[in-house]
Amino acid sequence: MIYYQLRNELWKMFGKKRTYIGFGAFLLAHATILLLFRYWQGPRRDMAHRLELLGYNSQYYISNLTMAVAVLIPVAELLMPLYVALVGGDLLAKEAEDGTLRMILARPISRFRLALVKWLAGLVFSIVLALALGVMGAAVASCLFPSGGLFAFLPMDGIFSVFEAGEGWRRYTIATAILSANAATVMGLALMFSCFNVKPAAATVLALSILLTSKIIQEMPYFHDLQPWFFTYHMNYWMKVFEERIPWADILQSLSILFGFNLTLLIIGCVAFQVRDIKS
Amino acid sequence: MIELRNVTKKFGRSVAVDDLTMAVPAGEIFGLLGHNGAGKSTAIGMMLGQVWPTAGLVKVCGHEVVRDRQRALQKVGAIFEAPAFYNDLSGWRNLEILSFYTAPTPARRIQEVVDWVGLGGRIKDKVKTYSHGMRARLALGQALLPQPELLILDEPGDGLDPEGIHEMRQTIQRLHRELGLTILLSSHLLAEVEQVCLSIAVMNHGRKVFQGRIAETRQARGWVRLRAGNFAEAAKILRESGLIARERDGQFILPAEGVGTNQVVERLVERRQPVFEIALVEETLEEFYLALMKK
């Protein structure tokens, strides 16, 4: 039964045009940034300089893979949460606003089950969106740049690594998969607000506000010691995949914390949804 | 089929429903009347477990809604004013989605309902292309899918044109006649309620101010039309005899409490007053309703 209800939620979700905004925006962002990389020499010259200083063949490392990773990071950090929150905020609040929630709750489905099915649908969307982000980045980069190894340069995280093409693609795939957890977390946050008696836009804005506030505090040097207490800190762990040796223990710890955070959001959302009145 | 016992609902300080006790017997078409904000939709929300009562007991199909909502709603269908659907999906897919919140529904059953409501030719089209009337039919279809015993209709006639209202009335009567459904109809359309309902309850500012048979509302104020040889003289005799409380318009009398029309006729005949006609005045539901609201 839950399978059919999940299928129905996905029909609803993917039946709406706004669900596809994120996919379109990713494609546009990838194309724009990668065209800039392709036709504006400045960044490539800088990359080549850094690589050659360390004795690497810059021709080989300024590749589709390097460019895909260079674009993946800002898009995943800035654009992905926006579109996930947009869809997550809609999940229940839009149904309440449109009046379809009253139609659903005239039926003998428990509110907990409905919220759970919505959460599962949100999870599927998060995974699809994160994978689409990875696939689109790789596809557009491959159209504009030659194949080669991966040069991962993330100064904020102290990462400066080079990989052969095979290992590079493996790291890229793992990073994309871990990004799904980030997307699911933002989705869970937006869905939690969507369970309250708020408009869909308010649920989206509240989720993004919490996300950005957490990021701001986490980045402030004064609160450096408190970093592990912020969920956004654990959402950065996917980038550690590009370190020379993947710190699996740290990554799994962060994923576990994100899982617990998501579970807490789901419980708060379910309780809020259970006790509220649904009116026309 | 539906029982509300001393039910109160407060939203903050405002009382939407105040100590409401009401029962809808099985097999009835029951009208729920009241002005905007009278508490009808809140009462229906409590019957469907969408609004939680502050106090009191709500039972539907023998099950307490707060404690056992799923069993209470197993055999219930509902339609709301301006029915909302997933506009980018087809009518068929909407029915599939909504029916699966009750139980897996075979395509054969969906097709039966589509045929019953007469949407066969357009069911695969997107709902956003449907007219208001077609949406109303689709709403009826989704309500009928779980093979309900109780149908709750919250302002189903809102926004319908005269043909649509006529069709809605016929459909309600057909549902009652052919499927034997118990129907709770909340509406502003007093003429429609008068034509289809057997009993009504009237709400005013969250309180029930009347519950009874439609037939009672027609005679509720008890005026009697009297055609006598000399109305003024006849009225004077009846007043002096203590048989009437009031008279008006040269043709209506209001018998005193406990006095029947037979006693009125007997007295007038005794006093040799010719009586050509005596009949209880039948009020329209609208007159009855407006009089109730003025109280």
The ipTM, to two decimals, is 0.83
Residue B104 pLDDT more than 90?
no
**Shortest Cα distance, chain A CAs vs residue B163, angstroms:** 25
In a domain, A80, yes or no: yes
In a domain, A132, yes or no: yes
pLDDT band at B285 (very low <50, low <70, confident <90, very high): confident
pLDDT score recorded for residue B20? 93
In a domain, A72, yes or no: yes
User: What is the value of pTM for the model shown?
Assistant: 0.86
Q: Give chain B positions within 8 Å (CB) of A280.
A: 41, 80-81, 154
In tens, the pLDDT along A63-97 reads: 999 999 999 998 998 899 999 999 999 999 999 99
Mean pLDDT over B128-139 rounds to: 90
B63-64 and B182-186 strand pairing: unpaired
Q: Give chain B positions within 8 Å (CB) of A109.
A: 70, 101-102
In tens, the pLDDT along B50-94 reads: 999 999 999 999 999 999 999 999 999 999 887 889 999 999 999
By the 8 A CB rule, do A189 and A266 touch? no
Please state the φ and ψ torsions of residue B66, each to the nearest 5 degrees.
-65, -40
In tens, the pLDDT along A143-160 reads: 999 999 998 888 777 788
Q: Give chain B positions within 8 Å (CB) of A20.
A: none
pLDDT score recorded for residue B81? 82
pLDDT score recorded for residue A61? 87
Please state the φ and ψ torsions of residue B131, each to the nearest 5 degrees.
-80, 175
pLDDT score recorded for residue B219? 65
The DSSP element (H or E) to which B254 belongs, if any, is: strand B252-255
Contact: B74, A16; criterion CB under 8 Å? no
Q: Give chain A positions within 8 Å (CB) of B73.
A: 106-108
Residue A174 exposed, middle or buried by CB count within 10 Å (0-12, 13-18, 19+): middle
In tens, the pLDDT along B240-258 reads: 999 988 888 888 888 888 8
- Coarse DSSP helix, strand, coil percentages of chain A, rounded to the nearest 5 percent: 80, 5, 15
Q: Does B73 touch chain A (CB under 8 A)?
A: yes
pLDDT score recorded for residue B220? 56
> From B140, which residue of chain A is nearest by alpha-carbon distance?
A103
Task: Round the average pLDDT of chain B to a whole number and report it.
Answer: 89
Question: Residue A226 is part of which domain span?
Answer: 17-275
Q: Which residue has the tokens 């490539």?
A: A44
In a domain, A122, yes or no: yes
In a domain, A10, yes or no: no
The domain tally of chain A equals: 1
> From A110, which residue of chain B is nearest by alpha-carbon distance?
B70
In a domain, A106, yes or no: yes
**Angle (deg, nearest 10), helices A165-194 and A248-275:** 20
CB-closest option in A16, A107, A277 to B45: A277
Residue B179 pLDDT more than 90?
no
In a domain, A270, yes or no: yes
pLDDT band at B221 (very low <50, low <70, confident <90, very high): low
pLDDT score recorded for residue A3? 86
* Test mutation, A92, A102, A107, chain B, max B CBs within 10 A: A107
Mean pLDDT by 10 residues, chain A (280 residues): 88 87 87 90 84 84 92 90 93 93 93 95 95 94 93 81 93 94 96 95 96 92 90 91 92 95 96 91
Nearest to A184 by CA among A147, A225, A234: A234
In a domain, A9, yes or no: no
